[in-house]
Structure 1
Amino acid sequence: MTDERSSTSPDEQRSDPHDSSDGETADADATSDENDVNENDADGNDNADEFTIADFHDASQQEGRPVLTAAAVSRALELSHEEANERLEALADRGALERLAVSTDPVVWYPTELEDLTDRERVVVFPKQREIVVDRPDQFTRAQLSQFAHLADANGEQGYRYVVRPADIWGTPHDSFEDLARTMRQALGQRSDALEEWVHSQWDRAHQFRLTTHEEGYTVLEAQSPEIMGNVARQKLDEEHVHAPISETEDWVREGSEAAIKRILYEAGYPVQDHRELESGEELPIELEVRLRDYQQTWVDRFAEAGEGVFVGPPGSGKTVAAMGAMAHVDGETLVLVPSRDLAQQWADAILEYTSLEAHQIGQYHGGRKEVRPVTIATYQIAGMDRHRSLFDDREWGLVIFDECQHVPSDVYRRSTHLQSKHRLGLSASPIREDDRQTEIFTLVGPPIGTDWEALFEAGFVAEPELEIRYVPWGDDEQANAYGSADGREKYRIAAENRGKIDEVRYLLSAHPDAKAIVFVDYLDQGRELSEALEVPFLSGETPHHERRRLLEEFRRNERDLLLISRVGDEGIDLPTADLAIVASGLGGSRRQGTQRAGRTMRPAGGALVYVLATRGTREEDFARKQLQHLGRKGMTIREQAVERGED
């Protein structure tokens, strides 16, 4: 394996070596022009049912072969045999089809450019399921699809499957439905009336309510019509949320209830547009001293337009740098909320490195320090305590940043979201919660703003790690027997701590002798055993902060090439990136945990590997497959390998 010691992550970027905006714009314009021509041809032709080569491709796909008879076209497209013949003849006259007489049928038809069936991008729309399947989509198509659809599965052989959900339409960046419809037609290469009708209904839902600021300074909830106000808002909300009606379509909002109103109406299927005049606090000029990549600039632009949002992207995609771009846009005093004091220190260091701010302008507020400055980084725990309310109230924050914002919906963290009058920005690699409350993240903080993971992989901004699940046999019969007689969670713990994994970790490290490696464990006893076997320190929640910092810095400076770390590394500290990650245990926890651990190898340089160890024949096998499925849907390739006892 190549040892990429000098590679830098997107969070450490100084310039953008992948500046291909001119080429991308040209491609986009060309595609746009081509689709505009197609739409004009369709609109200007008296025969709305004109047969095209795309129709032939649809029929060939349905029949499952590239060469068709008129009877097959008739059957696939529900035409009479005479109509099918006429349309095939017309298409052949235009040079798009060729005829071939054979003994079993008077004529068969095939495209003039037969390879077109295998080389061309293919888009199939299933309006009833609101799904789109794309075979070999180019980057422009994926960029267009990501504006109104969610990538559910990415499989090189079976294509890309997108699902259009209500939330995707509610959060689309378009200013009008006409703009959204144009994007859909460019992405699909066709017009799907049934899908557009449903999308239009969701667009209307997303524009029925909005919050505005009255000229006297209080907040008003506005509805598009008296009917929607009476039948929805006034049925769902009560005196805890609004004072009284102002008109048939307006209610006077109680101060501090904005978040609750947005959550309640969102759950009712009516997201609220937030058009209030948000406070920017005391002016704080901030210059960003690093160039944003195109996709990061897009994130910042969308945040600037809405005043709120959640940057969603894989680890290593530069969400922290993009957040500093948002700080520079607001130019106001900023409160950053993080899960731990380790991350607070890392944020302070990054702000010093990548912005024009100086050390005396940056403070930390947590168990170790209590500094409130123009930019203050505080932990969620401290921010949620009543006795520290002054942290919120003593300064007019212009921007509040929620790092690892998947924490926000939990009861202890949600208290901080009363800051609804400020610009709000969340950051998350994977805003997934196992309690299915992730939609609250977007209602409390803002809509998702992100980029297709696969697009970042292909563009070279983030390296796609190779991920392999390795099924390891038991290290000794004692543990195997204990597993057979155990119940519930104890069963999983025994499989996770399988001593056979020690030999497997040794083997993988020896197989990649030049790699910088991180080994993850979920259990302290297992960590201590591995620490002794590998003769390396074990970094866990019991490790003092100063010792943690020393070990991490040694790894960053290439003075140490192996870290052994507990689940404290999943969130709460900014781990250095590595060439090799070995997950010895811990995939039974959550999908988010799998994302965080796999993400430690994501950076611009390629060649990274992730190995997930699971004890063969146990529930751990199923856990590993389940928790990594969503990474496969994001475009990562996942392999599986059974390890034979003694083969290594």
Structure 2
Amino acid sequence: MSCLIVQADSTILLETNSPQYVEISAYLSLFSDLMKTPEHIHTYKITPISMWNASSSGIKSQDIIKFLKKHTKFEIPLKICKEIQMYMNRYGILRIEQKNGQLTLISRDSDIMKEIRKSEVIQPYLQDEIDNFSSRINLIHRGLIKQELIQLGFPVEDIAGYLCGESLQIQLSDVKLRDYQMDAIEAFYQGGKKTGGSGLIVLPCGSGKTIVGIGVMSKLNCETLILTTNVTSVKQWKREILTKTDVPEECIGEYTGDIKQVKPVTIATYQILTHRKNKDHDFIHMELFKKRNWGLIIYDEVHLLPAPVFRETANIQATRRLGLTATLIREDGREEDVFSLVGPKRFYFPWKQLEKHGWISKVECYEIRVDLSADVLDQYHQITNQKLKFRLASENPMKIKVINQLLKLHPDTPTLIIGQYLDQLKEISNHFQAPLITGELSHDERELLYTGFKEGKIKLLIVSKVANFAIDLPDAAVAIQVSGSYGSRQEEAQRLGRVLRPKKSDNQAHFYTLVTKDSKEQEFSLKRQLFLVEQGYQYHILDEKQITNKELLTS
């Protein structure tokens, strides 16, 4: 049954009522980006970066065209077929190799090499010409030239190889890797060949990305620098390494605001790397990249990689680099820099496939639309500033009544209430007499509350955006999102991830998003949901009255 329409502007329309919807949407996501998700038709867009990632993972242009022809209702515009072939063929048309200790930029097409040599932005990175197909480049320009070339529409396949780094034997212990985790490790390692050693592994929260990172460490057996989002994540990485490998504690260092240990395995935060006294001072902690002879650098939550770390990463292209993430989406639009400097997507496993096998929880997603009270509604309509309108809608006091009903629907179930605005969260915390975790709490205070939640002593925990990332709360089965960062798709994915870890009983979780009806918040909610809809999740849209009248059927 045909259910696609391929349009000349590189968009693809998918009918959601097709019996093949799940299968087709999963394949579309391999080479295109989901843009809109109205009820009956979803819109995908083919972009250069989406096709380059597909090409780097082994998908051929003819495979995509064949797939589209099989499922499209109408003839595919010839322009689209040509663009798919052109963009996908561009990956690998330029490559960097190392010959006799020197880096060489090589093209399969002499005309393209001639075009590149004429580029004013590329000329400073080129040394002498070898022939019509190749030129030498300086070792220190390996990352910078890749950044510039992708901006010109030419992604570079880097097969110049890597330094081994200082040896450190790392043996896995007390861990049985799942099949997809082993596949992810091998997709990155590629048997130790030059084609491996850099790139991204894309897996949802709760699926064991940390274990995959540790598995890569045990493959390479070298000193490793791990960069992650916060101190909580630093502690979790250290715990996992200690329990899952034979690396002794004295070989693991923490590098944060409070502790500055540089050891064979060092775990640091992005925050400390980008700390400086003021904008005129240097990032003194960037020296960490040079403190030891690292053989591997792991970028946890790579979609949050700060701009200053990009610049430093450009200088260490001879070191193996692994990016771990649940989503390739960057809110700043710098996906091309991640592709160039950390590497292309090496492995992806569909979220719904993991759910099907029981590796992550089944999650029911709901958007609950909440009315504003009459007085607040008048205030809302009088405001002209769009940001203020969004915040007023997000902090809708009527949401507390809905939260109360949801808690009654899930009595004694480990529940997280997640939000953006501290005043709102403090009010919810006071109303329900539940502990609140924000950036104002010390790390030790946060750890006490996390531990209490894990041990079942705390059933309800209120968390700010500090809990968006790297929190290991395996028993959390209900998440109630009361406010968020505008249309952030990555935040939506991370917050759903708080309840994805497999559960001991029915392996079922619930994710509720409360939005103010007919408001700016409702508009942004559609944007937030795009990535998760692409993964196969469906949001059930409910009116608050369906909750207060207990018409919601829990799974």
TM-score, normalised to structure 2's length?
Answer: 0.84
Aligned pair partner of 1:397 in 285, 288, 294 = 294
Aligned pair partner of 1:468 in 351, 366, 379 = 366
Assess, with a 3 A threshold, how the Cα gap between structure 1 residues 200 and 243 changes in structure 2: closer, same or farther: same
Are residues 1:626 and 2:538 paired?
A: no
Count of matched residue positions in the alignment of Structure 1 and Structure 2:
524
Aligned pair partner of 1:446 in 324, 332, 343 = 343
Query: Structure 2: which amino acid aligns with 1:346?
Result: Q
Give the deviation of 1:204 after TM superposition: 2.8
* Equivalent in the alignment of 1:327: 217
Query: Structure 1: which amino acid aligns with 2:237?
Result: W
Are residues 1:357 and 2:258 paired?
A: no
Instruction: Give the conservation status (yes or no) of the 8 Å contact 1:153–1:632.
Output: no
Aligned pair partner of 1:556 in 454, 457, 460 = 454
Distance 1:586 1:378 in 2: 27
Distance 2:215 2:233 in 1: 19
Query: Structure 2: which amino acid aligns with 1:609?
Result: H
1:550-584 residue CA offsets vs partner (Å, 9 max, x unmatched): 10111112221111011111136445451100011
* Equivalent in the alignment of 1:610: 511
Are residues 1:643 and 2:544 paired?
A: yes
Distance 1:547 1:574 in 2: 16
Give the deviation of 1:387 after TM superposition: 2.3
Assess, with a 3 A threshold, how the Cα gap between structure 1 residues 335 and 370 changes in structure 2: closer, same or farther: same
Give the deviation of 1:505 after TM superposition: 1.1
Distance 1:639 1:581 in 2: 15
Assess, with a 3 A threshold, how the Cα gap between structure 1 residues 153 and 523 changes in structure 2: closer, same or farther: closer
Instruction: Give the conservation status (yes or no) of the 8 Å contact 1:151–1:162.
Output: yes
Instruction: Give the conservation status (yes or no) of the 8 Å contact 1:280–1:333.
Output: no
Distance 2:5 2:179 in 1: 29
Give the deviation of 1:347 after TM superposition: 0.8
Instruction: Give the conservation status (yes or no) of the 8 Å contact 1:409–1:440.
Output: no
Assess, with a 3 A threshold, how the Cα gap between structure 1 residues 614 and 366 changes in structure 2: closer, same or farther: same
Assess, with a 3 A threshold, how the Cα gap between structure 1 residues 188 and 333 changes in structure 2: closer, same or farther: farther
* Equivalent in the alignment of 1:341: 231
Aligned pair partner of 1:299 in 164, 173, 184 = 184
Distance 1:518 1:295 in 2: 29
Instruction: Give the conservation status (yes or no) of the 8 Å contact 1:579–1:608.
Output: yes
1:250-283 residue CA offsets vs partner (Å, 9 max, x unmatched): 2222333222211221122211011112012011
Query: Secondary structure in 1 aligned to 2:226?
Result: strand
* Equivalent in the alignment of 1:455: 353
Query: Secondary structure in 1 aligned to 2:330?
Result: coil
Higher mean displacement: 617-626 or 535-544: 617-626
Higher mean displacement: 403-412 or 293-302: 403-412
Show the 5 A alignment for 1:200-239: 200-215=85-100, 217-235=101-119, 237-238=121-122
Query: Secondary structure in 1 aligned to 2:168?
Result: coil
Instruction: Give the conservation status (yes or no) of the 8 Å contact 1:308–1:445.
Output: yes
1:570-607 residue CA offsets vs partner (Å, 9 max, x unmatched): 13644545110001111525121111112211133432
* Equivalent in the alignment of 1:24: none
Give the deviation of 1:336 after TM superposition: 0.5
1:104-138 residue CA offsets vs partner (Å, 9 max, x unmatched): xxxxxxxxxxxxxxxxxx78685965859695459
Assess, with a 3 A threshold, how the Cα gap between structure 1 residues 487 and 326 changes in structure 2: closer, same or farther: same
Distance 1:639 1:496 in 2: 19
Query: Structure 1: which amino acid aligns with 2:127?
Result: H
1:216-257 residue CA offsets vs partner (Å, 9 max, x unmatched): x33221222332111125415445423333433322223332
1:27-69 residue CA offsets vs partner (Å, 9 max, x unmatched): xxxxxxxxxxxxxxxxxxxxxxxxxxxxxxxxxx6xxxxxxxx
Aligned pair partner of 1:407 in 293, 304, 329 = 304
1:338-361 residue CA offsets vs partner (Å, 9 max, x unmatched): 122221111111111222222112
Assess, with a 3 A threshold, how the Cα gap between structure 1 residues 498 and 319 changes in structure 2: closer, same or farther: same
Fraction of identical pairs, as percent: 30
Distance 1:249 1:519 in 2: 58
Assess, with a 3 A threshold, how the Cα gap between structure 1 residues 199 and 543 changes in structure 2: closer, same or farther: same
1:441-487 residue CA offsets vs partner (Å, 9 max, x unmatched): 2222111231222322333322231111111123x544333323333
Query: Secondary structure in 1 aligned to 2:362?
Result: coil
Distance 1:422 1:392 in 2: 10
* Equivalent in the alignment of 1:579: 477
* Equivalent in the alignment of 1:422: 319
Give the deviation of 1:187 after TM superposition: 10
Give the deviation of 1:386 after TM superposition: 3.6
Distance 1:181 1:431 in 2: 24
Instruction: Give the conservation status (yes or no) of the 8 Å contact 1:577–1:602.
Output: no
Are residues 1:518 and 2:416 paired?
A: yes
* Equivalent in the alignment of 1:538: 436
Aligned pair partner of 2:267 in 377, 380, 390 = 377
Distance 2:536 2:203 in 1: 13
Assess, with a 3 A threshold, how the Cα gap between structure 1 residues 261 and 330 changes in structure 2: closer, same or farther: same
Instruction: Give the conservation status (yes or no) of the 8 Å contact 1:154–1:633.
Output: no
Give the deviation of 1:308 after TM superposition: 0.8
Give the deviation of 1:148 after TM superposition: 5.5
Distance 2:351 2:528 in 1: 17
Aligned pair partner of 1:281 in 165, 181, 187 = 165
Higher mean displacement: 591-600 or 297-306: 297-306
Query: Structure 2: which amino acid aligns with 1:598?
Result: L
Instruction: Give the conservation status (yes or no) of the 8 Å contact 1:501–1:584.
Output: yes
Instruction: Give the conservation status (yes or no) of the 8 Å contact 1:409–1:438.
Output: no
* Equivalent in the alignment of 2:279: none
Distance 2:56 2:284 in 1: 43
Query: Secondary structure in 2 aligned to 1:480?
Result: helix
TM-score, normalised to structure 1's length?
Answer: 0.73
Query: Structure 2: which amino acid aligns with 1:440?
Result: D
Query: Secondary structure in 2 aligned to 1:424?
Result: strand
Give the deviation of 1:632 after TM superposition: 1.4
Instruction: Give the conservation status (yes or no) of the 8 Å contact 2:273–2:285.
Output: yes
In structure 1, stretches of 5+ residues that fail to align are: 1-60, 62-121
Instruction: Give the conservation status (yes or no) of the 8 Å contact 1:280–1:332.
Output: yes
In structure 2, stretches of 5+ residues that fail to align are: 191-195, 275-281, 551-555
Query: Secondary structure in 2 aligned to 1:455?
Result: helix
Instruction: Give the conservation status (yes or no) of the 8 Å contact 1:123–1:189.
Output: no
* Equivalent in the alignment of 1:318: 208
* Equivalent in the alignment of 1:38: none
Distance 2:320 2:514 in 1: 43
Instruction: Give the conservation status (yes or no) of the 8 Å contact 1:259–1:418.
Output: yes
Instruction: Give the conservation status (yes or no) of the 8 Å contact 1:614–1:621.
Output: yes
1:115-173 residue CA offsets vs partner (Å, 9 max, x unmatched): xxxxxxx7868596585969545999888x47953474999x97998765443443347
Give the deviation of 1:500 after TM superposition: 1.1
Instruction: Give the conservation status (yes or no) of the 8 Å contact 2:56–2:344.
Output: no
Assess, with a 3 A threshold, how the Cα gap between structure 1 residues 625 and 229 changes in structure 2: closer, same or farther: same
Query: Structure 2: which amino acid aligns with 1:363?
Result: G
Query: Structure 2: which amino acid aligns with 1:303?
Result: F
